[in-house]
């Protein structure tokens, strides 16, 4: 008998490891999910709660198939050893995981088991082992990645391929302070279909339109990131659906769809980085010749986390994070740049805060994107700094997004152009317009120039 161990792949459809276990035709497959404290304690409570809801949806899907998902809580090595004896298992099949917590979990399981542990590549379209170990830039990665064949989605197993067993252990429940997205494969599939039916055809044109993100949050962008992060839907299914749309459009619509496909390629790039760089979550990927002079100002970091920096787009992004467990991609980049450049606070502190608060936290994506923003990753620009004032003027000139998340600036009598210019206004003007909203915690130009100096010194370009 084969035991299939669900890990980050919390679905029955387009699950390569599960399909391989069934295709082996070595008897019925016993599916199991383990809440291992060594992994779950690395998650923020919001992500953990969403994972629990997703596992509950997975168990319901097995029930619809007339079968059962075995659920256990405890160290995976102990649980799998016990289940191997209970079901007289010949081998255990799972899918690869590249983050540090799950790598340590894999090592512990392999050391404890007396039966083989077989792993499959499931979370990416192209196996990192088939690519070069490193690429100087994302563009060079993408050029090589695009030459590789992408496997089609794997089929869901039929009931007769699964063991007819019973299990009554309950799924843990974590209380959370936000409303979570609908969980499970069906919700993810509905989200994908809705986006592909309308939003994707305008994606390139509207992805950074923050006013539209407020008015039509599920059309301006896909909002698939929470589902991909917990493995509620397979990346091959998403890719195949995008390619299906791509084959039906041309001109501007085709460029829009291609842009979304490019974003999925960025995801692949981050997974490739983590696969070959196990320390990506904790160490600079590209260390400069000299140490970066990070600041450790506790008050500045606390103001950033609260969304009280006096920079409206930064504060709106951080308050969206606190309200929803999600940040739109444009302000997500701006808040990360502001922390690492204008405040000169180590990217690892920001990444850890995101891990605690994001529903869609993904170890590879979080670490890869933070390092790219912090100029310690694979960016082709030596020192990239997002100007939060210019970014607001370009992407939310009417301050629609800001007013949605920063109530101190929601009064319609405050002109949008004043909100855009807020960090450059006199203190008297700011006090008159919105006395409850904080003054800027750093000078816009001074902080920009300081970041340039610090990073140029780190790069050896300035004494």
User: Among 368, 388, 261, which Cα is nearest to 317's?
Assistant: 388
Does 437 appear as a known binding residue? no
Pairwise CA distance, residues 188 & 222, whole Å: 10
How, if at all, do strands 91-95 and 70-73 pair? unpaired
Q: 411 with 434: CB under 8 angstroms?
A: yes
User: Among 241, 227, 195, 268, which Cα is nearest to 11's?
Assistant: 227
For residue 345, what are the β-bridge partners? 295
Does 260 appear as a known binding residue? yes
Q: 273 with 285: CB under 8 angstroms?
A: yes
Helix residue spans in 358-415 (DSSP H): 363-373, 388-395, 400-405
Pairwise CA distance, residues 369 & 376, whole Å: 10
User: Among 404, 440, 402, which Cα is nearest to 420's?
Assistant: 402
HSE, CB side, 13 Å, CA atoms: give it for residue 76. Answer: 27
Q: What does the DSSP 8-state code read for residue 169?
A: P
How, if at all, do strands 70-73 and 117-120 pair? unpaired
Q: What does the DSSP 8-state code read for residue 412?
A: T
Q: 419 with 402: CB under 8 angstroms?
A: yes
Does 443 appear as a known binding residue? no
Beta-strand (E) ranges in 177-262?
none
Pairwise CA distance, residues 337 & 448, whole Å: 11
Residues 6 or more apart in contact with residue 397 via CB below 8 angstroms: 416, 417, 420
Does 362 appear as a known binding residue? yes
Pairwise CA distance, residues 216 & 355, whole Å: 26
Using alpha carbons only, what angle is made at residue 187 by residues 167 and 7, rounded to the nearest 5 degrees? 45
Q: At what angle do helices 138-145 and 251-276 cross, to 10 degrees?
A: 100
Residues 6 or more apart in contact with residue 202 via CB below 8 angstroms: 219, 253, 256
Pairwise CA distance, residues 159 & 162, whole Å: 5
Does 271 appear as a known binding residue? no
Q: What residues form the annotated binding site for FAD?
A: 203, 260, 360-362
Binding residues: 203, 260, 360-362
């Amino acid at each position: 008998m084969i035991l299939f161990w669900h890990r980050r792949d919390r679905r029955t459809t387009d699950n390569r490891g599960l399909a391989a276990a069934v295709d082996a035709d070595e008897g019925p497959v016993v599916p199991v999910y383990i809440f291992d404290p060594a992994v779950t304690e690395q998650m923020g409570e919001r992500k953990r709660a969403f994972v629990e809801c997703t596992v509950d949806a997975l168990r319901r899907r097995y029930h619809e198939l007339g079968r059962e998902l075995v659920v256990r809580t405890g160290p995976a090595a102990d649980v799998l050893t016990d289940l191997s004896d209970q079901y007289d298992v010949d081998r255990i099949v799972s899918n690869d995981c590249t983050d540090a917590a799950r790598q340590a979990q894999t090592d512990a399981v392999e050391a404890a088991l007396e039966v083989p542990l077989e792993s499959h590549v499931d979370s990416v379209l192209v196996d990192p082992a088939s690519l070069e170990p490193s690429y100087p830039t994302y563009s060079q990665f993408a050029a090589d990645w695009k030459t590789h064949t992408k496997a089609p989605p794997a089929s869901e197993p039929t009931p007769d391929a699964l063991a007819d067993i019973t299990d009554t252990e309950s799924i843990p429940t974590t209380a959370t302070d936000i409303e979570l997205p609908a969980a499970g494969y069906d919700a993810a599939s509905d989200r994908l279909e809705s986006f592909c039916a309308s939003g994707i055809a305008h994606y390139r044109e509207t992805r950074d339109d923050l006013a539209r993100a407020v008015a039509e949050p599920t059309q301006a962008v896909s909002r698939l990131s929470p589902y991909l992060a917990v493995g509620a839907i397979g990346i091959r299914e998403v890719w195949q659906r995008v390619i299906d749309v791509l084959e039906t459009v041309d001109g501007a619509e085709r460029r829009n769809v291609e842009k979304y496909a490019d974003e999925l390629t960025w995801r692949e790039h981050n997974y490739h980085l983590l696969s070959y760089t196990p320390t990506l979550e904790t160490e600079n990927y590209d260390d400069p010749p000299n140490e970066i002079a990070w600041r450790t100002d506790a008050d500045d970091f606390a103001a950033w986390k609260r969304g009280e920096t006096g920079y409206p787009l930064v504060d709106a992004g951080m308050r969206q994070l606190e309200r929803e467990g999600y940040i739109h991609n444009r302000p997500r980049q701006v808040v990360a740049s502001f922390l690492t450049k204008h405040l000169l606070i180590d990217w690892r502190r920001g990444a850890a805060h995101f891990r605690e608060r994001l529903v869609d936290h993904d170890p590879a994506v979080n670490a890869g994107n933070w390092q790219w923003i912090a100029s310690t990753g694979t960016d082709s620009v030596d020192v990239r700094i997002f100007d939060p004032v210019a970014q607001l003027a370009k992407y939310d000139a009417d301050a629609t997004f800001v007013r949605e998340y920063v109530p101190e600036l929601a009064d319609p009598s405050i002109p949008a152009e004043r909100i855009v210019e807020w960090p450059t206004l006199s203190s008297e003007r700011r006090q008159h317009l919105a006395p409850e909203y904080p003054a800027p915690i750093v000078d816009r130009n001074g902080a920009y120039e300081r970041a340039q100096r610090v990073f140029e010194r780190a790069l050896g370009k300035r004494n």
